[in-house]
Structure 1
Amino acid sequence: MEFRFLTVIDEAPQQLIEVKLSDTRASRSLHYFHHKYGIPAVQIVKNLPTERMSGNLQVLKILDYLKKLQM
């Protein structure tokens, strides 16, 4: 299971986000769109043993990511 989002502020793209349940492999499509459009990207995973970087793509634990969000 996965979901993809693009956050936007004042009509400007801010971040590409891909959310996964368990697949810890960095998403090829997320890498593609990150490089094509130059938008920061993050993949967040519920069942992730260790956070890491895959090139310029962050692969993060979902709870840690959500705790850092500013509302």
Structure 2
Amino acid sequence: MERREGYTDPTADKVLSSVLKKPTLSEQDAKSLSRIKHLMHLLRFAANEFGFDIEERVILRDKQTGKIWR
């Protein structure tokens, strides 16, 4: 980040890059998220077809990994 005085500020560069950096997902987590997105689409569709809405957070536990998704 360049300051008004014309010199770079390495501290600001480091802070901004860490804030703007997206967390990387493992391949397994990326696959799980894809499955969750598909599942949530199906759940919302099924609820709608039966005249319901999903109002609260759905918490899922992956049977393969044991990880809990909130």
State whether TM-score is above 0.5.
no
TM-score scaled by length of structure 1:
0.24
RCO greater where, 1 or 2, for CA within 8 Å and sep 6 or more? Answer: 1
Radius of gyration: which is bigger? 2
TM-score scaled by length of structure 2:
0.25
Structure whose residues are more often helix by fraction = 2
